[in-house]
Amino acid sequence: MYPLVLASTSPYRRELLARLGLPFATAAPGVDEAAVKRQLRDPAAVVTELARQKARAVADRQGAAIVIGSDQCACLDGAVLDKPGTEANARAQLAALAGRTHELLTAVALAHPGGTIEWTEVTRLTMRALSGDEIARYTATEQPFDCAGSYKIEHLGITLFERVDGADWTAIQGLPLLRLAAELRRLGLPLP
């Protein structure tokens, strides 16, 4: 059996993958995300290419392994909402999302000795109308500055939403485990 490697330093993705109960290592992919974002404009193309590059970068260093690369972005009106980085940016993103429906795209590339399997999960999220005070309280409490869309839906961020439509709840958190588990089983990893 090939070793399993997560091409990510994200604590969220590491926590999600650990739920499958398989031993795995993590490795920083070292991909120039800004270059990909400058080159490609379509949000789906961006996350797909970044997931692919992350998986390939680590797979090229690992040798024979199963390597999981993933990337995610929030999109509003066809524009990518990057991780906000600051409280001011998070407040601005949440104000733009308030009362509207946006998409969260989560791409996965699974590099293995026989090739690469790729897919993208699309989740549509409808945020309720939010006041400036509600946004300020949320960002001060949760500090979602490293999260696409400026929310942590698996925590207090759930209170910001009216509706969530998607096939896999874990995709929202950064790694769609339903399809990933199925693909890993197909590659021979011992999952129930």
Question: pLDDT tens track of the chain, all 192 residues?
Answer: 799 999 999 898 999 999 999 999 999 999 998 899 889 989 999 999 999 999 999 999 988 999 999 999 999 998 888 889 999 999 999 999 999 999 999 999 999 999 999 999 999 999 999 999 999 999 999 999 988 899 998 899 999 999 999 999 999 988 999 999 999 999 999 998
Q: Say what the pTM is.
A: 0.89
CB 30, CB 62: distance < 8 Å? no
Annotated catalytic residue, options 71, 77, 146, 168? 71
Q: Domain residues of the chain, as ranges? A: 4-186
CB 50, CB 31: distance < 8 Å? yes
CB 124, CB 162: distance < 8 Å? no
Active site residue 71: yes
CATH number, span 4-186: 3.90.950.10
